Chains A and B, each alone.
Chain A
Amino acid sequence: MLDLCLLAVMDEGPAYGYEMTKRLRDRGLAIVGEGSIYPLLGRLERDGLVDTYRAASNGGPPRKYYRPSSAGRVALALGVSEWRAARDAVDAVLAPVKIEVAS
């Protein structure tokens, strides 16, 4: 699932490691508490789901940018489809539940 989130944020535009962390945080997803994105990026790269290139960042040293490869886009599309199906199924189960909070 975290792999999917990384593919999604880099699909918005090529990004380097810390930039992806910021994009995830802006959406309220602080995944780094359970580890780090670097091994995940390594796995995506090894599996051929991302393309990388080096380019200068804003006035800083050259950074390694990631973007989904064609295989990565396919994996992203499939993953999003599966996630939405699972989310809808869980919603259907939970929808009738009424939550009453005693005051």
Chain B
Amino acid sequence: MSDFVEQCRQEWRRLGVPDPLAEEMASDLASDLTDAEAEGVSVEELLGISAFDPRSFAASWAAERGVIPVPPSRANARRRPRVLVAFTALAAIALIVAALLLLTGNPKVTLTAMSKRTPGAHLKSPPAFVLPPGGSQQVLHANMAAPVEWILLVLAIIALGFAGWLWSSWGRSRPPGAPA
């Protein structure tokens, strides 16, 4: 039993519970456990499942008393918007970069009108696609770097959509009056 109290004491110290309060809670708990033991009641009977997890028990007690700012789970919930902000910003940057590359960079996909192809040229040139004939024969030369920009653009749009969904779901899950 004293081991359980000692583990609680260590957890309170780790969480920054003021010493007088931690000592008061430890003293009350130790007295109750001693009484229970004298009456043949085990720690498990007195504390239930908390008897197997002194650190959680100590943290829960301190949090409910309001002697530590917020329990870890709530702190994570507050940290979540920062992750969302970072994710949204990255997606937006990716979208802008992809758009700039597509609008201002050298075209990676060229549409070239060719009247005649020399024999064997297809062995040296990049992959080409023959479009339906309409007067002169047109060949589309595709550079292998071209899809990267389009893939980046599509991924950025998907990421922004996902970020929007995360923002809306986070907004719904926040308790009323919770700090932003």
Contacts and interface: CB of A to CB of B under 8 A. Distances in A.
Interface of A: 16-18, 21, 32-36, 38-40, 42-43, 45-46, 57, 60-61, 63-64
B48 A36 contact: yes
Given A36-B50, A42-B66, 12 more contacts: A16-B31, A16-B32, A17-B29, A17-B32, A36-B47, A36-B57, A38-B29, A38-B57, A39-B57, A39-B63, A57-B31, A63-B31
A36 B101 CA distance: 61
B143 interface: no
B49 interface: yes
Nearest to B24: A64
Contacts of B36: 18
B46 A40 contact: no
> Interface on chain A toward B: helix, strand, loop, or mixed SS?
helix
A92 to B, nearest CB: 33
Given A33-B48, A35-B50, A36-B50, A61 B64 contact: no
Interface residues of B, number: 23
A42 B65 contact: yes
A45 B65 contact: yes
A18 B35 contact: yes
Contacts of A63: 28, 31
Contacts of B61: 36, 38-39, 42
A46 B28 contact: no
A32 B60 CA distance: 15
A34 B47 CA distance: 8
A46 B46 contact: no
A49 B172 CA distance: 31
B48 A18 contact: no
A43 B71 CA distance: 14
Given A35-B50, A39-B61, A18 B45 contact: no
Interface in B54-100: 57, 60-66
Contacts of A36: 46-48, 50, 57, 61
B8 to A, nearest CB: 10
14 contacts: A18-B35, A21-B46, A35-B47, A35-B50, A36-B47, A36-B57, A36-B61, A38-B61, A39-B63, A45-B65, A46-B65, A61-B27, A64-B24, A64-B28
